[in-house]
Amino acid sequence: MRAVMEAPDQNEPRRAWRAAFYAVISLYAAAFLLYAETSAFTWDESYHLLAAQLILRGRRPYLDFCFPQSPLNAYWNAAWMAVFGQTWRVAHTAAALLTIAAVVIAADFIARRFPVSAWRLPGAVVVVLAAGLNVLVFLYAPLAQPYGMCLIGMVLAFRFAVEAVGRARPWLAAATGFCAALAAASSLLSAAAGVVFFLWLLVYNRAGSRLHKAIAYALGAVILFLPVLRLFVLGPRQTWFNVVQYHATYRRLYWPDATRHDLEVLTSWIDSGPALLLGLLAVGGLVYVARRSNWTRSVKAEFYLAAWLAAALSAEVGRAHPTFPQYFLLIAPFLAILAAAGVYAIGSRVFAPDRPRWAVAVVCVLFALALARTVYDHREDDTWRIYERVAARIDQVTPPNAPIYANEPIFFLTRRTPPPGYELYYTHKLNLPPAERSLLHILTRDEVKQQVQSGAFVTAYSCDDDEVEDLGLNRLYSRSEDIGDCTVFWDRRKPGPSLGK
């Protein structure tokens, strides 16, 4: 942030641009935190929250429950909840703060290093708008999922990397590896960034030993994977399944037409105005940088690093089977850095070269309107409020330690420990040998159905009419209550000859 205050600007009132930068950051941070604490929600974040809650109870990912993710973000959420309470708002605050920090650090790169001094602060504002108001970042980065951790890890690694190549001592290379691993140890969706950083450090190194920096980078990266290595030593089969095999083999079970789904996701940018705008500005910025003969090789290399990161991450998340639009939010900070160059390339020609305010204003309006429209379109989506109502009703009709049939959001909100095999709903379609299922803490759908219909649960809930019919919940319980699109069932009927039919 000090560089923002010191960035030379001879053609624009520095004080006005400094005030504009801080105002944009403040407004963005306030809006982002407000959204995070009120409306941010996706069903899939619930198993991340439940994993953090189970960790607080002394249970270990992979060894004690199924959790097919890198574990760092779950431990991060657990640490926050240990201090501030086991609520989704705590995890959302932590993720939102990481995301805000990532946006500011990316913007500060332009404020410090953009070659045209008059556009440093305006370019920093563009990065805040392009990355912070990106619709995918705004909707998904404040969740309990690892997006916030990935963003801060990769942006910090980017900043360390551009400094490391010009310094003889290898500690900055170690810091680059550590931060790249911070992202990958939270989600392997960001693993490609680690490879790009490593290769870029070797290719563009200008001072010191490449070998020493390569070793330092590797050592920095290994530190954050030590917990996974320990889990692998204690349970190699469980760790391999959760970290690698589940994603390579079983994720597509819930998406039988995954190839068609992936093609639709990979081409969805064609119908997205915000994605097209950011992409075109980034491509324009990259072309402009490549054609600048008066920019040094080292300056160009920093923008090329942003481009390589965006390309590598896009290729990695695009190959996830199935993939989802929100995965692509990981490239937003790097496209935003390139977009700052693109806005300069266009604005310095369409408007006066020393008058960036109009170009920045146009970008601000476009990104703000696109975000406002997206948030408005999602105004009727589910939020945590509906599940809080369901959880409250379940607690009212169920004795404190009685077993309930539920899934991750309700187990988390009621703070009830799920029965073995109920920690992750998405594993019930896996058909593995009994010994394997026991080792991996997995139940099949038939086993779940048998437990429900045998009367194992005092209370049940479901938001799926097909599931209600399949499990026979209306016949198993004499009382029920609809809450939104969900139904709570309680007061089990006595077993009869038609039970379960």
- The maximal CA–CA distance of the chain, rounded, in angstroms, is 87
CB neighbourhood size of 498 (10 A): 8
pLDDT score at 360: 87
- Does pLDDT of 354 surpass 60? yes
- pLDDT: which is higher, 292 or 49: 49
Domain boundaries, the chain: 2-251+266-377, 384-492
Mean pLDDT of 492-497: 70
For all residues of the chain together, what is the average pLDDT?
A: 90
90-103 average pLDDT score: 97
What integer pLDDT is reported at residue 12 of this predicted model?
44
Question: If pLDDT is split at 50, 70 and 90, which confidence band does 7 have?
Answer: very low
Which DSSP symbol is given to 345?
H
As a whole number, mean pLDDT of residues 74-79 equals 97
Q: What is the pLDDT of residues 123-154, one digit of tens each?
A: 999 999 999 999 999 999 999 999 999 999 99
Mean pLDDT, to the nearest integer, of 202-219? 93
pLDDT digits (tens, 9 = 90+) for 371-396: 999 999 988 888 999 999 999 999 99
How would residue 496 be classed by pLDDT, with cut points 50, 70 and 90? low
The pTM of the full predicted model, rounded to 2 decimals, is: 0.92
Please tell me the predicted confidence (pLDDT) of residue 8. Answer: 46
Please state, in angstroms and rounded to a whole number, the distance separating the CA atoms of residues 342 and 268: 23
What pLDDT band is residue 4 in, cutting at 50, 70 and 90?
very low
pLDDT classification of 260: cutoffs 50, 70, 90: confident
How does DSSP assign 141-192, residue by residue? TTSSSTHHHHHHHHHHHHHHHHHHTT-SSTHHHHHHHHHHHHHHTT-GGGHH
What is the pLDDT confidence band of residue 9, given thresholds at 50, 70 and 90? very low
CA separation for the pair 347, 355 (Å, rounded): 8
Kindly indicate the confidence band of residue 498, based on its pLDDT and cuts at 50, 70 and 90.
very low
